[in-house]
Chains A and B, each alone.
Chain A
Amino acid sequence: MTLQTHPSSEGGLARGLSSPLQPFDIGHPSHIAVVEPDTAFWGLVRKDKLSEALAGGPLLDTYHAQADNFRREMEMLRFGLKPSAVYFNPTERCNLNCSYCYIPEPMRRSGQQMDQATVLDALERLHGYFRGHMPEGRLPQVIFHGAEPLLSRTAIFAGIEAYGDRFRFGLQTNATLLDESALSFLTERGVGVGLSLDGPNPGVADRTRRRWNGDGVFDHVVRALDRLDGYPGYNVICTMTEANLPHLTEMVEFLHARRVPAGMLNVTRCTLPRARGVRGDDDRVAKAYIAALERTHQLYRTSGRKLVVANFANILIAILAPTARRLMCDISPCGGGRSFFALAPDGDLFPCSEFIGLPAFSGGNLFRQPIEEILNAPAFRRVTGRRVEDVPGCDGCPIRHFCGSPCPAEAYEMNGGMGQKGAFCRFYEEQVRYALRLIADGRHEDFLWDGWDDGTVPSCAIGAA
C-alpha cells in the first residue's frame, strides 16, 4: 500500500485509502501522525505499522467508538461558547511607537481616552451583561490593554478597586509607567501583569519597541521584572520579528534567569502594513522558535524550573485536550466576538483588539446598545462565522483545528478577505509537527505548566505512560 504523506503541505495532505485518518508526517525518526481533521482526533503510529493502524486496531476502534463525542466536543468549543472576557482599551494613546503595533499611528498619538466615570460606567454595564450568563463561582475577566493602559492609570485603578469582587483583572503594559506604587496596587489585588519585551539586551529589544523620539525602554522593563520577581501572576510577551530572531534563544535564557514564570513568543500580527515590514519569514521564524523552545527544555532539565511559553503550551493543549485550551487565536472561529470581545475608548465594541483600527468591524456602542445586540451585528458575524474548513488550502489540511488559520484581521487586511488564510501557515504547521514530536518522545509535559489538566477527564489513552 502506498500512502502519500506530503511532508510540507500548507494543507492538501492525502488521505490513506478509505481510512478516516489522514497521515501527517511530523519529521520524527520512528513515528508518524494520523489525524481525523473534523474531530481533531489524532494518533502517533510507528512508521512500519502505519498500514496496519489505518486498516484497524485500537486507534480506529477508539475513533469509531468516540467520534460522535469528539464531534460534539469540537462543536461546543467552536460554536457553543459565550463571552467571558473583555479586552478593555481605556485609551487609544501610547507613549511608544513600536514598529508592529496594530493600532494606527494617529490614534496612538492623540486618540481618545476614557475618564474615570466612563471606565466605571463601562464596568457596570459589562458586569450586568456577564452576570446574565456566567456560571456562579466563575468571574468574568477584564484585561486592560492598549495602546498603553497606564496612561489612564487613575481611571483603571478606580475600576479595579470598585469591581475587584466582580471581575478578575489583568493588565498588559509596556512597563514605562509601572512604578513602585502601581506595582504594589496591582500585586496586592492579584491583578495579572503582562509586560512586553522583544530582546535580552537594549541593542535588540529597542529595535522594535521605542518611544516617539526613538529612545528605547529596555531598562524600564527590566526594572519592572526585578520588582515582580516572586509574584506568580506576571509574564512577558516577546514578538518575533526579523530584528530579534537570531536572539530568541538568548531571550529565553534571559527570562529564565530572571525567574519569569511564563511568556509568549508571538509571531508579528500583520494586520497593518507597517508590521509586515518587520515580520520574519515562516521558515526562519519556525527554526528560531523551536530552538528557543528546546532551550527552555534544557533549562528546565538543569534547573528544575520551567519557563512556560504559553502560546506553544496552548498548541500542545489543543492537541492533547482541545477544550482545555486557554488562548483562542488558534481555533476557528477564533475567540474574537464569541469568547471575548474588545472595548474601545469611545465605547465601540470590536470582536478583538486586533480590529480596533478597522472601523468597519465596530459592532455597536456599549453606551448606546445592549451587548447581546452588538454580538449579533454583521461586523461580529463576519468574524464569528469564519470557519477554517471554508478557507482554500485549509479545507484539506489535517491539522486545521490545531491552527485555525489565524488571524482573521490579518486575512482580511493582508490577504484579501476573511475567506483567505492568515499569515504564517508554514510556521503553524511546523509548530504542530514539533508538538507532535514531543508527544512521540514523551517530553510534552515538560513544556506545560503543572496542573494544566486539572478538571479534565481522559477520553482516550493509548500508549500514554
Chain B
Amino acid sequence: MTPKTDSKPSAPAAKPRPEVIAIRKTCDAEGTGLSHYVLMDKEVKR
C-alpha cells in the first residue's frame, strides 16, 4: 500500500515497438484483497 509518489516518468515510447511482445513474471501467490479495500503493497512502510 505504499506506492512511491515521486518517481521520475519513463521516457515516451516513441520508437517502433517489437513485432512480438510477451512478458510474464512469477512469484508465490499472496493475494488477499477485494474491491472493498485498497490493498496493494505488502506492508505500510512508516
Contact = CB atoms under 8 A, between A and B. Distances in A.
A62 B20 CA distance: 12
Given A49-B19, A77-B29, A456-B27, A446 B10 contact: yes
Interface residues on A, range: 35 or more
Contact of B41 (A41, A331, A449, A459): A449
B40 A308 contact: yes
A416 B36 CA distance: 23
Interface string B14-46: 000111111111111111111111111101111
A266 B35 contact: yes
A313 B20 contact: no
A340 B32 contact: yes
Contact of B25 (A326, A443, A445, A456): A456
A391 interface: no
B4 A450 contact: yes
A31 B1 contact: no
Interface stretch (A81-89, A284-292, A360-368, A378-386): A81-89
Interface residues on B, range: 35 or more
A311 interface: yes
Interface string A450-465: 1111011111111111
B25 A304 contact: no
B4 to A, nearest CB: 4
Nearest to B44: A233
A150 to B, nearest CB: 15
Contacts of B5: 259, 261, 305-306
A247 interface: no
21 contacts: A45-B19, A46-B19, A83-B32, A168-B43, A168-B44, A190-B43, A191-B44, A192-B37, A232-B2, A237-B38, A304-B8, A321-B26, A326-B31, A327-B35, A331-B31, A340-B34, A354-B36, A460-B22, A460-B24, A462-B22, A464-B22
Interface of B: 1-10, 13, 17-41, 43-46
